[in-house]
Structure 1
Amino acid sequence: MSRWIRANKGLLAFLMLFGIFRTAVADWNPIPSASMRPNLLEGDVVFVNRLAYDVKIPLTDISLGRLGEPQRGDVVTFSSPKDGTRLIKRIAALPGDTIEMRGERLLINGTPAGYTMLGQGMETVAPLGQLAALHLEEHSGDASYRIQVLPQVRAMRDFGPLTVPADRFLMLGDNRDNSGDSRVFGTVPRELLIGRAERILVSADIKDDWLPRLDRIGMSLRPR
């Protein structure tokens, strides 16, 4: 065994450094579910900037220093406070914000978000089959981004008001009626944030023919 280690020490050093890089600097995250439609589709792989907010000791949630502040509208990866599963959602409310939802419409600190109708799409939802989806532009503060609603699905369309505690964030999926998010597991502590999702690296249609979706490569995930 020791002879094998000596013979492959270059490879082992590379793998160790690569692992440190991926857990401390930059990462990628495959999208397995529909919770971020219409912006992220199953089969997208996104680039995650792990240094967007904090520099952490590799393989831990221990922060060595803050590098930036999460903003409303950022798409982030984080560990679920419920069971540790890695998730990707959008920051809907910041520490100190009072947020509520009434009939799909967000209210932040008493100010309702604005909405612009963009069009329609289709989504297959088990066991209901193919359903019509409405695509909207949500304008929340300085951030604007697309969301999707599914009028035929039973969903939590009302909650709050809730004031977000210090150093915690409220997360929502862009696919508002088909997302397990802070309406289920509560607000997320800052130490559980992994990084900010910046753009789509690669994409393939894993639900159908596995063909690459070349038009999605390089798409930015930053709010407008």
Structure 2
Amino acid sequence: MKLFEILLVVLTLASGLILLADKLYFAKRRAQRAGLLDSEPVLVDYSRAFFPVLAIVLIVRSFIAEPYKIPSSSMMPNLLIGDFILVNKFAYGLRLPLNNAKVVPIGEPARGDVVVFHFPGHSDNDPNKGENFIKRVIGVPGDEIAFQGDQVILNGTPLKYENKGLYAGHRGQGEGASLLVEHLPGRTHTILETDYPRGEGQWTVPAGKYLVMGDNRDNSDDGRFWGLLPEENLRGKAFLIWLNCSGWFCKDGFEPSRIGTGIN
């Protein structure tokens, strides 16, 4: 996805510069030589055709909504492998492509939001550093969070849970895990738990940081293991599933019932 973003920016800039140079210099020369070389060069013709499309795609992906595909089971049962989602790119401020620098502040993540972000990495040498990850915000600035035996304790108060029985699984993932409803203040969502809790610890969330966890609590590489998420790594807020398709040409499964499903 990052390679596509780089390619999109380069092609948009290149086609735009070609059109600008042609308008300011080469078009005038062609006009002066009318009858000898009055046809538009192929490169300019292609740039004129593709620049508006590339510019629109770049603007939409950078500032409005961007598609992502869920590659792992870490957000089950709410997001499944093969889900294609849309991410609101302006929910937490408008950011420039490539460097992700915020240029217009708009809002901040709330507890319970499902966010996409650049993975900060376990270390500077982590090969996945900078890749797009998706998790749920559990702690916001000012929170004191503890996680003990699959129990989240928020500012000294244990969260409430409702047991909904055993999870049936999805394409061989998560079968037999406990399906629970977790009650964050003002927000509820489902999670999965097993008999083997992971990632116990305590965190104080400072300004500009967030604690994020996967909904598949015992099968998620999240802030419990690599630390707090810096605000500058945020990419946007996940809000819609627009397709579920696994494998080439959906050979491993297609679920039309998930099309148009909101992300809670």
TM over 0.5: yes
Seen in structure 2, the aligned counterparts of structure 1 residues 157 and 57 have a Cα distance that, compared at 3 Å, is: closer
Distance (whole Å) between structure 2 residues aligned to residue 146 and residue 10 of structure 1: 47
1:28-39, aligned counterparts within 5 Å? Answer: 28-39=67-78
* SS of 1:204 mapped into structure 2: strand
Quote the offset at 1:67 in angstroms: 1.0
In structure 2, what is the equivalent of residue 90 of structure 1?
A: 136
Distance (whole Å) between structure 1 residues aligned to residue 159 and residue 53 of structure 2: 48
**Are 1:191 and 2:232 matched, yes or no?**
yes
Instruction: Check conservation: 1:77, 1:193, Cα contact below 8 A.
Output: yes
Residue identity matched to 2:213? L
* Structure richer in helix, relative to its length: 2
Distance (whole Å) between structure 1 residues aligned to residue 81 and residue 111 of structure 2: 24
Seen in structure 2, the aligned counterparts of structure 1 residues 123 and 27 have a Cα distance that, compared at 3 Å, is: same
Quote the offset at 1:111 in angstroms: 0.8
Quote the offset at 1:58 in angstroms: 2.8
Higher Cα Rg, which structure: 2
Instruction: Check conservation: 2:167, 2:174, Cα contact below 8 A.
Output: no
In structure 2, what is the equivalent of residue 109 of structure 1?
A: 155
Out of 22-31 and 34-43, give the one that drifted further. Answer: 22-31
Seen in structure 2, the aligned counterparts of structure 1 residues 22 and 130 have a Cα distance that, compared at 3 Å, is: closer
Identity %: 35
Instruction: Check conservation: 1:34, 1:42, Cα contact below 8 A.
Output: yes
Match of 2:260 among 211, 218, 223: 218
**Are 1:156 and 2:198 matched, yes or no?**
yes
Quote the offset at 1:110 in angstroms: 0.4
Seen in structure 2, the aligned counterparts of structure 1 residues 108 and 125 have a Cα distance that, compared at 3 Å, is: farther
Structure 2, unmatched stretches of 5+, are 1-17, 19-40, 122-128
Out of 3-12 and 47-56, give the one that drifted further. Answer: 3-12
Quote the offset at 1:15 in angstroms: 1.4
Number of corresponding residues: 217
Distance (whole Å) between structure 1 residues aligned to residue 131 and residue 74 of structure 2: 14
In structure 2, what is the equivalent of residue 46 of structure 1?
A: 85
Residue identity matched to 1:40? L
Residue identity matched to 1:52? A
In structure 2, what is the equivalent of residue 146 of structure 1?
A: 190
Residue identity matched to 2:145? I
State the TM-score, normalizing by the size of structure 2.
Answer: 0.76
* Structure richer in strand, relative to its length: 1
In structure 1, what is the equivalent of residue 105 of structure 2?
A: 66
In structure 2, what is the equivalent of residue 100 of structure 1?
A: 146
* SS of 2:241 mapped into structure 1: strand
Seen in structure 2, the aligned counterparts of structure 1 residues 63 and 218 have a Cα distance that, compared at 3 Å, is: same
Quote the offset at 1:97 in angstroms: 0.3
Query: Bigger relative contact order, structure 1 or 2, given CA contacts below 8 A and separation 6+?
Result: 1
* SS of 2:179 mapped into structure 1: strand
Instruction: Check conservation: 2:212, 2:223, Cα contact below 8 A.
Output: yes
Structure 1, unmatched stretches of 5+, are none
Distance (whole Å) between structure 2 residues aligned to residue 136 and residue 98 of structure 1: 23
Quote the offset at 1:150 in angstroms: 2.0
Instruction: Check conservation: 2:199, 2:225, Cα contact below 8 A.
Output: no
In structure 1, what is the equivalent of residue 49 of structure 2?
A: 10
Quote the offset at 1:195 in angstroms: 0.3
Distance (whole Å) between structure 1 residues aligned to residue 258 and residue 174 of structure 2: 23
